């Protein structure tokens, strides 16, 4: 028997959630559909007897967040891996990673495995390794090989082989470190018929851990069981920010309609599924097929959502009515921009602005709420294009607007453009992120607060004209151009949120934490600020008034926390060590002197 352990690294930066004023809510994450697909396929199609297990470190991170853990999380992840290896004796470990954010964990994961047993063959696959195979093999000495693209067929061939290293070196989809010098370029091996993947048994996961991705929160009070399905793979488009082609290619392959309906009915009847998440990259590639699936789903009396977004140009009155009948209460629209120039010449998306409003009106006619995804910050986008987008948002009247900053994901055209134009140095990307997250931003804000504590004249200036006072210290610019300082007192506690998207004073606080951008924080901070603060570990007297400030593109806020007792006579540098990022958002308090290391 051959044993394969799949490991999924955290999708999020653990430091955003596991400090003394950590975030209360970890963003929702979806079930590991790709791993479930490979488990199902390999169990049925391998000639060899295969035993597989799955370790999702996102679940471990969730537990640490819930426990308000304050120790070394990397040690917890490592012990979780060693414990699983002691009980399972895996010969192969496969690390599955989608995006850049998982890169920081992969080297530690494979090193733990090699330290435990040097004979373990460590593998990586998914969007990130597929696109950045050279960088990852060079920077992760404990990583043996990478699979390009989909893993069902390459893993089947590897596990059935008498000599796995022979397959790694001969197979077109595998690449090992020593093959980099020979300039081997791994190629895709696609599974053409998705019906060849047997139905999942879901035995390797606890479905309760993947039950909070639904976007329509008007149903959040109801008991539910969310489950996901990918009825197709591939997308014919090449949107500038998308890395999908590096994993699934541009040719769309589908499940049969009969298979889709059978799988969904089984999810409902055997697992109690009440909310179906259709996670296709382009569900409406074949519009007739999509409409027939919706007609079939209508008979199952479940709710249906499209968390990855749907093509706007596919929506008309007929489709909107089918949505409503199929239990679609909210639809995420992949609009991205309200400028035809950006859509067609920068993103290269086959969408015209004139089609957006009729689609929203069709949805509204059948009581389907509209969420819209907007991406800003693309190279070549100008102020006038963003102004067009803002006007489009006002004209169309979406129910929810989700604004994202363009990020150069490995495998996307945007990443290639940024490298070619010298916007980023690939070798310095992690260092850049680390700098904004931990070095420049929060430290700047801490210096401002410390000076306000130590210098009454500066404190008064800061409260009267935050922009000028902060600028005098050399901080500001871009997102820090219009800053207002809010002073916490025993009578009033200030708390900052951006209810629209994630407006945030980067120049003094660095990158916004993921929880700041999450829908639960953005809504609950306004509706129940005292409850949210309690979840952050901040319990205020009932006599303390809580004021919530809504940050905007034009106006950002910096909270000046109360100075801790026992710090009289301290220098500004020493005071700055007491100031945390969360205390400057208002979701935390300054550290007490005894809490310093």
Alpha-carbon distance of 351 to 534, in angstroms, equals 45
Catalytic one of 96, 502, 518, 583: 502
Long-range pairs, 69-73, Cβ under 8 A, ≥24: 69/18, 70/18, 70/19, 70/20, 73/14, 73/18
Quick one: which of 569, 572, 565, 555 has its CA closest to 486? 555
C-beta atoms surrounding 280 within 10 Å: 22
Using CA atoms, how far residue 204 sits from 3, 31, 189, in Å, is: 14, 11, 25
Q: How far is CA 264 from the centre of its chain?
A: 26
Instruction: Give the ranges where 282-345 is alpha helix by DSSP (H).
Output: 287-298, 317-325, 340-341
Instruction: Give the ranges where 465-535 is alpha helix by DSSP (H).
Output: 466-471, 506-509, 514-517, 519-527, 529-535
Using CA atoms, how far residue 238 sits from 249, 270, 350, in Å, is: 10, 38, 10
Q: Which two tokens stand for residue 313?
A: 């140009």
140 counts as catalytic: no
Alpha-carbon distance of 311 to 429, in angstroms, equals 32
Alpha-carbon distance of 414 to 38, in angstroms, equals 29
Alpha-carbon distance of 24 to 536, in angstroms, equals 5
Catalytic one of 113, 239, 418, 501: 501
- What does the radius of gyration of the chain's CA atoms come to, in whole angstroms? 25
User: What phi, psi does 354 have (nearest 5°)?
Assistant: -65, -15
Q: Residue 273 in 3-state DSSP?
A: coil
> Are 356 and 334 within 8 A, CB to CB?
no
Alpha-carbon distance of 275 to 416, in angstroms, equals 37
Catalytic one of 113, 140, 239, 498: 498
User: What phi, psi does 314 have (nearest 5°)?
Assistant: -85, -10
> Are 16 and 438 within 8 A, CB to CB?
no
> Are 286 and 259 within 8 A, CB to CB?
no
Catalytic one of 214, 503, 518, 583: 503
Sheet hosting strand 330-336, strand order edge to edge? 330-336, 369-376, 400-405
Work out whether strand 232-233 and strand 253-254 pair parallel, antiparallel, or are unpaired.
Answer: antiparallel
Quick one: which of 204, 251, 269 has its CA closest to 52? 204
Q: Residue 52 in 3-state DSSP?
A: strand
503 counts as catalytic: yes
Sheet hosting strand 226-229, strand order edge to edge? 226-229, 275-278, 303-305
Angle, alpha carbons 318-310-35 (nearest 5°):
130
Quick one: which of 275, 209, 218, 197 has its CA closest to 61? 209
239 counts as catalytic: no
Angle, alpha carbons 164-77-131 (nearest 5°):
50
Alpha-carbon distance of 229 to 329, in angstroms, equals 18
498 counts as catalytic: yes
Catalytic positions, written as ranges: 498, 501-503
């Amino acid at each position: 028997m051959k044993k394969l352990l799949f490991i999924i690294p955290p999708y999020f930066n653990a430091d955003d959630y596991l400090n003394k004023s950590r975030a209360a809510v970890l963003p929702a994450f979806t079930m590991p559909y790709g791993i479930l697909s490979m488990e199902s396929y390999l169990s049925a199609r391998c000639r060899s007897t295969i035993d597989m297990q799955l370790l999702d470190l996102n679940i471990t991170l969730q537990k640490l967040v819930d426990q308000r853990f304050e120790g070394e999380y990397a040690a917890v992840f490592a012990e979780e891996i060693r414990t699983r290896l002691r009980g399972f004796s895996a010969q192969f470990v496969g690390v599955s990673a989608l995006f850049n954010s998982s890169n920081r964990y992969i080297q530690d994961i494979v090193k733990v495995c090699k330290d435990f047993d040097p004979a373990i063959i460590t593998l990586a696959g998914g969007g990130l390794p597929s696109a950045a195979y050279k960088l990852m093999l060079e920077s992760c000495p404990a990583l043996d090989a990478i699979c390009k693209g989909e893993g069902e067929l390459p893993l089947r061939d590897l596990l059935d082989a008498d000599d796995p290293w022979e397959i790694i070196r001969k197979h077109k989809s595998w690449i090992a470190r020593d093959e980099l010098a020979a300039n081997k370029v791994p190629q895709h091996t696609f599974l053409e018929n998705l019906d060849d993947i047997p139905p999942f048994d879901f035995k390797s996961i606890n479905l309760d851990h993947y039950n909070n991705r639904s976007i329509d929160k008007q149903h959040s009070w109801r008991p539910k069981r969310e489950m996901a399905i990918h009825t197709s793979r591939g997308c014919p488009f090449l949107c500038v920010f998308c890395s999908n082609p590096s994993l699934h290619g541009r040719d769309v392959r589908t499940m049969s309609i009969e298979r889709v309906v059978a799988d969904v009915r089984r999810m409902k009847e055997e697992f109690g599924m009440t909310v179906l998440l259709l996670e296709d990259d382009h569900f409406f590639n074949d519009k007739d097929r999509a409409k027939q699936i919706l007609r079939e789903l209508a008979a199952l009396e479940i709710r249906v959502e499209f968390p990855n977004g749907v093509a706007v140009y596919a929506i008309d009155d007929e489709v909107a009515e089918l949505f409503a009948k199929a239990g679609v209460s909210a639809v995420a629209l992949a609009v991205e921009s309200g400028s035809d120039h950006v859509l067609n010449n920068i993103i290269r998306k086959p969408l015209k602005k004139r089609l957006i409003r009729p689609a929203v009106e069709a949805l509204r006619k059948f009581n389907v709420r509209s969420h819209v995804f907007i991406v800003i910050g693309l190279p070549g986008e100008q102020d006038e294009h963003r102004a067009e987008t803002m006007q489009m948002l006002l004209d169309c009247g979406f129910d929810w607007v989700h604004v994202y900053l363009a990020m150069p994901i490995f495998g996307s055209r945007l990443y290639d453009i940024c490298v070619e134009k010298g916007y980023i140095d690939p070798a310095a990307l992690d260092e850049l992120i680390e700098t904004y997250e931990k070095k420049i931003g929060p430290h700047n804000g801490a210096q401002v607060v410390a000076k306000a504590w130590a210098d009454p004249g500066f404190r008064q200036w800061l409260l009267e004209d935050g922009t000028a006072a902060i600028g005098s210290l050399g901080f500001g610019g871009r997102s820090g151009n219009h800053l207002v300082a809010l002073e916490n007192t025993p009578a009033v506690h200030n708390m900052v949120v951006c209810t629209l998207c994630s407006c945030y004073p980067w120049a003094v606080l660095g990158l916004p934490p993921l929880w700041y951008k999450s829908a639960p924080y953005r809504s609950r901070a306004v509706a129940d600020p005292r409850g949210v603060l309690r979840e952050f570990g901040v319990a205020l007297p009932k006599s303390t008034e809580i004021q919530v400030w809504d940050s905007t593109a034009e106006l950002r806020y910096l909270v000046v926390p109360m100075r801790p007792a026992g710090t009289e006579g301290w220098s500004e540098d020493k005071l700055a060590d007491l100031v945390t990022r969360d205390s400057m958002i208002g979701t935390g308090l300054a550290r007490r002197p005894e809490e310093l290391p």
